[in-house]
Amino acid sequence: MKKTLLVVDDERGIRESLKWIFKDGYEVVLAKDGREALLAIDDKSPSLVLLDILLPDINGLEILKRIKEQNKGLPVVMITATKTVKNAVKAMKLGADDYVVKPFDLEELRIIVQKALSTQELAKEVELLRSEVTRTYAFDNIIGKSKEMREIFRVVRQVADSKTTILVHGESGTGKELISRAIHHHSPRRNKPFITINCAAIPETLIESELFGHEKGAFTGAYERKIGRFEMAHTGSLFLDEIGELSPSTQAKILRFLEDRELTRVGGSKNIKVDVRLIAATNKRLEESIEGGTFREDLYYRINVVPIDVPPLRNRKGDIPLLVHHFMKKFHRENGRGPGKISKDAMDLLVGYDWPGNVRELENLIERVMALSTAETITPEDLPVTVRENVRISRLKDAVLWGEISLIKAIEEFERDIIIDGMKRANYVQSQAAARLGISRRILKYKLDKLRIDLHDKSSQSET
């Protein structure tokens, strides 16, 4: 679909010339004065306006002003005579994207129009990305209605507008970075940098340079000056993931920065003022690290001004169905395929599983199921064996601990399930099943009889 150009000029020759120049690549709309121009903008919604400064009814600068008041993103290129170049400069100050002087060079005019339209497209993309980021890190998009998650949302809302340093604690995969980004994107720094660094992923010999930067020649291989993450995050937020992995010497430098809000690059002598909000995260209990002598107590109190403890997924089972449906919709939207429903039995298995990898593990599982399944509904058979078996073991354990069945009965049930599964995987051939289970065929036969495992409809496939 062609973009629409609106040409506004009181000289008919100019209007017709511009229409002829752009007719192949654009839909060109003409207006001979300011009144027609304003009507055409409302009616045709042009992509760009070529606007003469001298018009018979309304001054071009006034038209420009009205355009920018109604649609700031609409590109306007001013057309001016040599004697009114000063007015063109005024127009640039009012928001015009560029100007051309009569008589204009045709190729130069084409380039100016293309550049203005490209700038507009880029601005739209930036705004779209910004709105997408805002939606992604809105509190509503951090899934959870459990009491623990509601408390986290309350704290985050309270501290987002402040400069307070925050320490987020939680197991790997619980969403510590997602919560940290939400804090940033709901703060006055939302349009400023959000810089992250995983302290556990950087070798100790390089971490100081990564954080604080270095000067050229500071050490072997430092061929040019490097800006560190603290400087990159100036006026924004710095997220230090796994801060508990830092060496004591690096901890001391971070403490000094938090006290003075100044840093010195490695190999440098100049103190550099940096305005940054620090958000730290850890999967360790730093109190234990302090007792073990691996984390500084004074730094701990500097970063633990507002603690946020993210619970593991196994402690907020009620959030699992919400997360499952959220991830199903997400991957269906991204891939245009996958089941739209999940059976009650499959959901019960997901809720019963302990999720050692937390939300990240659940997300990966749903992505895999959505990619591989061609059915309309996710069933237990679509879930990994580890999930199905672990849930069975967990339920047996709970039944024993709650006194519902004896330990001996639970062991028998567990043994029964394993043997039946082993027989199925061996296509009910007993010698192969015994080999899979690591027992002799004689012992397998004994256990089949003892546990009263009936293979009547498969006996013809078994070895005698």
pLDDT of residue 80 exceeding 50, the answer is yes
Whole-angstrom Cα distance, residue 306 to residue 309? Answer: 10
Q: How many residues does the chain have?
A: 464
Q: What is the CATH number of domain 143-311?
A: 3.40.50.300
**Mean pLDDT of the region 172-183:** 91
pLDDT of residue 128 exceeding 70, the answer is no
pLDDT digits (tens, 9 = 90+) for 300-322: 999 999 999 999 999 999 999 99
pLDDT digits (tens, 9 = 90+) for 40-62: 998 888 999 999 988 888 888 99
pLDDT of residue 346 exceeding 80, the answer is yes
- Asked, colleague to colleague, whether 3-131 and 143-311 share their fold, the answer is yes
> 262 is written with which tokens?
């100044």
Whole-angstrom Cα distance, residue 335 to residue 351? Answer: 25
The per-residue pLDDT for 419 is 87
pLDDT confidence band for 132 (50 / 70 / 90): low
Residue 8 has φ and ψ, to the nearest 5°, of -120, 110
Q: Are 82 and 54 in contact (CB under 8 A)?
A: no
Whole-angstrom Cα distance, residue 314 to residue 130? Answer: 33
**Mean pLDDT of the region 439-457:** 82
- Which residues in 166-305 belong to E strands, given as ranges? 166-169, 194-198, 237-241, 262-263, 272-273, 277-282
Whole-angstrom Cα distance, residue 343 to residue 345? Answer: 5
Exposure string of 373-411, with b = 16+ CB inside 10 Å and e = fewer, is beeeebbeebbeeebbebbbeeebeeebeeeeeeeeebe
263 forms beta bridges with: 272
The per-residue pLDDT for 19 is 92
Worst-scoring range by mean pLDDT, 126-140, 175-189, 218-232, 305-319? Answer: 126-140
The per-residue pLDDT for 440 is 92
Q: Could you say which architecture CATH assigns to the domain 312-377?
A: Orthogonal Bundle (1.10)
The per-residue pLDDT for 456 is 55
pLDDT confidence band for 230 (50 / 70 / 90): very high
Locate the domains of the chain by residue range.
3-131, 143-311, 312-377
Q: Are 230 and 193 in contact (CB under 8 A)?
A: no
Mean of pLDDT over the chain: 87
377 forms beta bridges with: 341
> 57 is written with which tokens?
């009814």
Q: What is the CATH number of domain 3-131?
A: 3.40.50.2300
CA distance readout (Å), 413 to 282, 386, 408, 418, 452: 40, 17, 9, 9, 11
Residue 285 has φ and ψ, to the nearest 5°, of -85, 100
Reference 363, options 406, 331, 391, 401; nearest CA is 331
> 432 is written with which tokens?
């192969």
The per-residue pLDDT for 87 is 77
Across 97-106, 134-143, 162-171, 329-338, the highest mean pLDDT is recorded for: 162-171
Strand bridging mode 48-52 / 76-80: parallel
pLDDT of residue 70 exceeding 60, the answer is yes
- 162 versus 133: which is more confidently predicted? 162
pLDDT of residue 461 exceeding 50, the answer is no
Report DSSP state, residue 357: T
Whole-angstrom Cα distance, residue 244 to residue 281? Answer: 8
Report DSSP state, residue 223: -
> 106 is written with which tokens?
């045709």
> 279 is written with which tokens?
């958000």
Helix (H) or strand (E) holding 406: none
Whole-angstrom Cα distance, residue 167 to residue 115? Answer: 46
**Mean pLDDT of the region 105-117:** 88
pLDDT confidence band for 460 (50 / 70 / 90): very low
The letter for the amino acid at 75 is: P
The per-residue pLDDT for 237 is 95
**Mean pLDDT of the region 165-180:** 93
pLDDT of residue 8 exceeding 90, the answer is yes
Report DSSP state, residue 225: -
Give the gyration radius of the chain's Cα atoms: 33
Largest CA distance in the chain: 108
Q: Are 107 and 129 in contact (CB under 8 A)?
A: no
Helix (H) or strand (E) holding 80: strand 76-80
pLDDT digits (tens, 9 = 90+) for 348-399: 899 988 899 999 999 999 999 999 988 999 998 899 878 887 666 666 666 6
Torsion sign (Cα): 233, 237, 239, 243: positive
**Alpha helix (H) residue ranges in 139-247:** 147-159, 176-185, 204-212, 229-232
The per-residue pLDDT for 130 is 54
Q: Are 199 and 240 in contact (CB under 8 A)?
A: yes
